[in-house]
Amino acid sequence: MMAGASAPLNPRYPVGMNERFDVVIVGGAAVGASVAWHLARDPAFAGSVLVLEKDASYARAATALSASSIRRQFSTSINVRLSGYGIALLREARALLGADAGLHEGGYLFLASEAGREILRANHAVQTDEGADILWLEPDALASRFPWMSTEGVAAGTWGRSGEGWFDGFGVMQAMRRASRAAGVTWREAEGVRILVEAGRARGVALADGSRIEAGTVIVTAGTGAAPLLETAGLALPVRPRKRCIFYVRCPEALPGFPLLIDPTGVYARPEGAGFICGVAPPEEADPDVAPDDFEVDHALFEETVWPTLAARVPAFERLRMERAWAGHYDMNLFDHNAFAGAAPGLEGLLLACGFSGHGLQQAPAVGRGLAELAAHGRFLSLDLSPLSPARFAAGERLVERNVV
C-alpha cells in the first residue's frame, strides 16, 4: 500500500478539510489495529490509512484490561467461526506478526447444573457442527480429568481440548500496530469528536483540536467510545459501558491442568502467571451504565460472591490470597449481547464494530479482517460477517448470544 500521505484540500467539499486519507479508523486498540493490519497486508489495496487513537497509553482501553481469553464455546455459529480465525492467527503470530502471541490452549470448562444441562447440550451441538474440538463430560469424567474440583451440583461440563485458552492480547495488538505502521499506515494520537456527514454519506472526521480529516471510508472501532461518536452521525445503537472487575489471586497448592473454569453461577477463574485471575458479572440489577472515569474495584464482589463460589468448587481455593485487582469497561450490546460489525445502516462510507459484550479481543482478528475487506472490496471475501450487521437492531432481529461471561 501507499504511504499514508495527506492530500491537498478537496475543493468539492464546502467544509474545509485539512487532510485526506482513503480510510480513517477511529479507535486504535485491538479491533482498530486489526483493521489497519489487514488493510496493510492486502495486496489489492493501495489506499492511504490513518488510525486515530485518543490515548496511546491505552490505560483505559478494554484491550489493556481484559482477561484476554479465547473460546470456541459460544451459542451462535458466527461467534464459533470468528474465534476459529482468531485461534489460527494466534497460532501463527510469530510468522505473521513477528511476535509470539503467548497462546496457552488450556481450554474453557463450562459447567452446567441440571437446569442448564440442555442448554449446554444445544450449545455443544452448535460448536461441534462448526468443527470445534469440544468434549462433552459427565460428572465422573469431570472428576477424573480435574481431580482438584468438586462436581457438587454439576450435571455436565464441556471442555475445549484444543483451540481455546488465553493469550497476550495487548501484545498482539501492539504487534499489529507496529506491522501496520511499518507497511505505511499512519497512526496519530488524536480524538475524533464528530463524524462529518453530507448528503447521506460519511465524509470524514472532526478532531478535538478543531481540524477535519476527509475520508473515503470512516471506520469506528472505538470500544465504549463508539456509540457516542456514532450518534454524531445520527446512528443510535444500544451499546453501553459496563464495569467488570478482575481479581488476581495466589493459591498455595498446584492445580495441574487448570482450564478457564466457568462455574454454573457464572464465576470464572483461569491460570495467570504464578496465580489465577477470576471474576464474575454482577447481577443485572447491580450493573448500571458506568461513568467514563469510574475504574474503582468492587471488592465486595470478590468477598461475597467470587471467593465463596470458587472455594466451594475448588477446595484448595479456600486458602487463596488476593494480591491485586483492576476494573475495565465492557462495550455491552443490550440488544442481543453480540457485536455490531459492518456497514452503518443508511449511511454510505461508514463502517463500525462495537458492542462486543466482553468477547472482542478474541474476535478482533476476524472482525478486523472483515471490515478491511468491506473497506477495500465492498464485500466480505473470507468469513461472511453479515449476521453481525448493525442493521439487525433497527430490523428488530436479535442474534442472541447465551454464553456471555
Residues near ligand FAD (CB under 6 A) are 26-27, 29-32, 52-55, 58, 61-63, 65-69, 191-192, 221-225, 229, 244, 246, 328-330, 356, 358-362, 364
**Beta strand ranges found along 184-297 (DSSP E):** 186-189, 192-198, 201-207, 212-220, 239-250, 260-262, 268-272, 275-279
The total number of residues written for the chain in this structure: 405
Cell, residue 338: 453480540
Decide if 351 contacts 220 (C-beta within 8 A): yes
Cell, residue 22: 482513503
Decide if 155 contacts 114 (C-beta within 8 A): yes
Cell, residue 105: 490452549
Question: CA 129 to CA 374: how far, in whole Å?
Answer: 27
Decide if 110 contacts 403 (C-beta within 8 A): yes
Decide if 80 contacts 72 (C-beta within 8 A): yes
Cell, residue 155: 450435571
Helical axes 360-377 vs 169-182, angle rounded to 10° = 20
Question: CA 56 to CA 119: how far, in whole Å?
Answer: 42
Tell me the CA end-to-end span of the chain in Å, nearest whole number: 39
Decide if 124 contacts 31 (C-beta within 8 A): no
Question: CA 270 to CA 224: how far, in whole Å?
Answer: 26
Cell, residue 114: 441440571
**Burial class for 382, CB neighbours closer than 10 Å (0-12, 13-18, 19+):** exposed
